[in-house]
Amino acid sequence: MKKTLYLMRHGQTLFNVQKKIQGWCDSPLTELGKQQAITAKKYFEDHHIIFDHAYCSTSERCSDTLEIITGMPYIRLKGLKEMFYGELEGESERLNCQTPEECITYYLQFGGESSNDVRDRMKKTLIDVMKKEDHQSVLVVSHSGACFNFLRAWQDPMEELKKGFGNCCIFVYEYDNHKFTLKEVIRQEN
């Protein structure tokens, strides 16, 4: 039986504006970030999309985004967290690696994670969520890097990356038999 996963990135944060590396460290949503979450909520309402379950990363920026979108109970899962950037957490984004290939192992030298680790934990976490019998339409709020690495578990992500993974973009996946197929990406105009 096919199910639908709505995987989305959190709203804009203070560190996004300040161009700081934000993995496991956290910063609050900006006013624009809150508005982006309201826009996502309106999208779901306008398209009559009802969720039977909701999940998010343990980061406050994700739970705040989710709470704006829906008042339903939700579960926070560590497996949905952003990549851990080690000693680069909170530092300037100019210290980031420049290509997805470079990112596979770049952060290990700073005590962080490999992007393959992020891909594997996102894949495991979301399969565990979606294989539950009563999970037909699920909303999950996570992070840009986590969403990118999850996408690359199922397809070449470069075409979608070129279009951008802006704040509160929504990846719509079909789930069937432990596999995810990307159906569309809803991006906000900012």
For residues 19 and 118, give the distance between their C-alpha atoms in angstroms, rounded to a whole number. Answer: 22
Task: Give CA separation, 65 vs 27, 31, 38, 88, 161, in Å.
Answer: 12, 11, 9, 24, 22
Query: Six-digit token pair at 103?
Result: 């990112």
Q: Catalytic annotation on 102?
A: no
At 161 the pLDDT is 85
Residue pLDDT, tens place only, 131-154: 999 999 999 999 999 999 999 999
Q: Which of 172, 176, 178 is nearest to 186 (CA)?
A: 172
Exactly one of 10, 113, 143, 160 is catalytic; name it. Answer: 10
The CB density around residue 174, as the number of other CB atoms within 10 Å, is 13
Burial 14-25 (b: 16+ CB within 10 A, else e): ebbeeebbbbbb
Q: Which of the residues in the chain have pLDDT under 50? A: none
At 190 the pLDDT is 58
Residue pLDDT, tens place only, 99-124: 888 999 999 999 999 999 999 999 99
Query: Six-digit token pair at 136?
Result: 């037909």
Domains of the chain and CATH, by start: 3-14+29-80+117-186 (3.40.50.1240)
For residues 170 and 6, give the distance between their C-alpha atoms in angstroms, rounded to a whole number. Answer: 6
Q: Catalytic annotation on 82?
A: yes
Exactly one of 47, 67, 82, 101 is catalytic; name it. Answer: 82
